[in-house]
Amino acid sequence: MARPFLPGSPGHVLYNAALSAGVILGFPVWVPWVLLSRKRRSNFPDRLGVRGALPAAPPAGRSTVWMHAVSVGETNASVPLLHRLRERAPDARLLLSNVTITGRGTAEKALEGVIDGRFYFPFDLPGVSGRFLDRVRPDVVVVVETEIWPNFLAACARRGVPVVVVNGRLSERSYRGYARFRWFFAAVLRTLRAISAQTREDADRFVALGADPGIVTVGGNLKFDMSPPETGASSLSVLLEGEKASGTRWIVAGSTHPGEEAAVLRAFLPAHRKAPGLKLLLAPRHPERFAEVEALLQQEGAPPARRTAIEGGTSRFGEAVLLLDTVGELSSAYAAADIAFVGGSLVPKGGHNVLEPAWHGVPTIVGPHMDNFREIAGAFLGAGALLQVAGEEDLSAAFARFAESPETFLEIGRKGRDLLDAFRGASKRNAEVVLSAMRGPVSPS
């Protein structure tokens, strides 16, 4: 059995020696990497703990839960769990850390009034993690999904702070990568108090990497417990519904990546020629690509209307393609969709979450690459609640079928909503794991 990864242990010394060598030798690379990115420059000092406000030390007698969610997806998954913890432990201080600016922005919108503070997660450098822990003084640290930072975990172990992994997942690719250094990660995993995995397959992989089988449970996927954002009568929903009242049917392609926009457009245009009332709303995943995608659509002979250029945000337009060049309106788009394609799946990006269109009962299509959401995709496919295509040709055929008989796709959307109702409960199970860690002994496992 591997010993826990503690400060001064052989694995800890070796890790920091390799880390120091990487920082020094990589100096010509990582310095420009930081300086040339406005986003990375903006939170770099915060993650070193030399700038930015960390939460004040907790008042006596008040427990502190530090939850860490690296970016947008993990933050969204943390929302139902934080709501549940607020219900179960109303006096606890709930804090959330992120790595990315977009993750922090998501938390600001989704968790207002639920959490007591937000801050950026420290870099995994010697001394930095300890400085954050000594200021925050958590009673438990909750890591969403799989963020394994050895120095941070060692600092927690030295201070007797229990660390819990919730919504834990290990893709086949990640598992193979970690398995090459099992001798090292087994010791790191032994610092954890509990691991609540998404699936039995994930749980078995954690154990195979060296986690204590006694701390690993299957808690389900928190993303099944997410609630749809409030869409209301936004200007976009008014625009889309107004078009629908005039006979338009919407294909919404959300969270698309390079290589997908052109494929989606080529699949859409034949269906549009067959059914001129069919329109495409295209929502690239990354805002910095809006201009690039507009130029691509113009080059392909389908100049789009830009959401931000429509007068008053609600006026009619004649173009067949609407480019959603805003942030935060994709849910409104899905709510008005007649059929959806979720991007990151025609190209090998691991896919994106299909739950949002499913909440609205929208028939949903994905490509073959859904590795990051394999449990969700597998459950939906098994229930007939999702259509998966092998590539652009299959996508074109699906759009053509939809143009001819959209009513034949309605059952897919209905099954998706029914399946969501059946998968509730992960936040309750994961909350119990967190609360049990807070109640238990605090010596490292």
Active-site annotation, residues: 74
Q: For the stretch 355-384, what's the b/e string if a residue is b when 16 or more beta carbons lie within 10 angstroms of its beta carbon?
A: bbbbbbbbbbbbbebbbbbbbbbebbeeee
Structure tokens belonging to residue 441: 């002994």
How far apart are the C-alpha atoms of 53 and 360, rounded to whole Å?
Answer: 39
Structure tokens belonging to residue 280: 């495409």
| Beta-carbon contacts of residue 200 (< 8 Å; ≥ 6 apart) | 218
Q: What secondary structure, in 3-state letters, does 30-49 show?
A: HHHHHHCCHHHHHHHHHHHC
Q: How far is CA 283 from CA 19, 33, 350, in A?
A: 39, 27, 17
